[in-house]
Amino acid sequence: MYLKTIGEQTVIFLYSCGFGFILGIIFDLFELAGEFLPRKKAIIFAKDIIYMVLCAFLSFLFSLAADNGSFRFYIYAAFPAGWFIYYFSVGSFTRRVRQTFSTFIRGRFLKFVRKTKEKNAKKFKKSKISSDLLLQDKDLMLYNKKDNS
């Protein structure tokens, strides 16, 4: 095991910042998926646990690729730095886009649900009218009389 030069450490630090930036993008994707899930505590908890486990696994793989798996503090300090750079720069824009997108999709979905309910109500009303017409007066129907003479 040899000591890395300042140049190599700087390159790995910048790569780690970039990886933290990617973790921020993954966070936004999880938040986008969370927009369409119910707002229950158990679902939010499970989503956060899955995100943390995924981040830990990806960080481990990054550490293996970047520095042969050796633990360097500056690598793991750069992950949150890159994440915060993403969150406060590009992330603010993507949050607005995500909210607009989810509002648009929810509006379309609710409009679709409303229209299908109206169509089903019309079909039900038509079928009720036609069934009332088909069911005629019991006295006039021959097979409903007990005495067929």
pLDDT in tens, 107-127: 888 788 788 877 777 666 655
Would you state the pLDDT for residue 132?
A: 54
Would you state the pLDDT for residue 148?
A: 54
Would you state the pLDDT for residue 126?
A: 58
Cβ proximity of 117 and 53 under 8 Å: no
Would you state the pLDDT for residue 84?
A: 92
The Cα 31–Cα 27 span in angstroms is: 6
Spell out the residues 6+ positions from residue 75 whose beta carbon is closer than 8 angstroms to its own: 12, 13, 16, 62, 63, 66, 67
Exposure string of 15-39, with b = 16+ CB inside 10 Å and e = fewer, is bbbebbbebbeebbeebbebeeeee
Would you state the pLDDT for residue 72?
A: 86
Would you state the pLDDT for residue 6?
A: 87
Would you state the pLDDT for residue 52?
A: 94
Q: Tell me which residues of the chain have a pLDDT lower than 50.
A: none
Would you state the pLDDT for residue 9?
A: 87
User: Where do the structural domains in the chain lie, given as residue ranges?
Assistant: 6-88
pLDDT in tens, 17-33: 999 999 999 999 888 88
- Write out the two tokens for 45: 């908890």
Cβ proximity of 18 and 83 under 8 Å: no
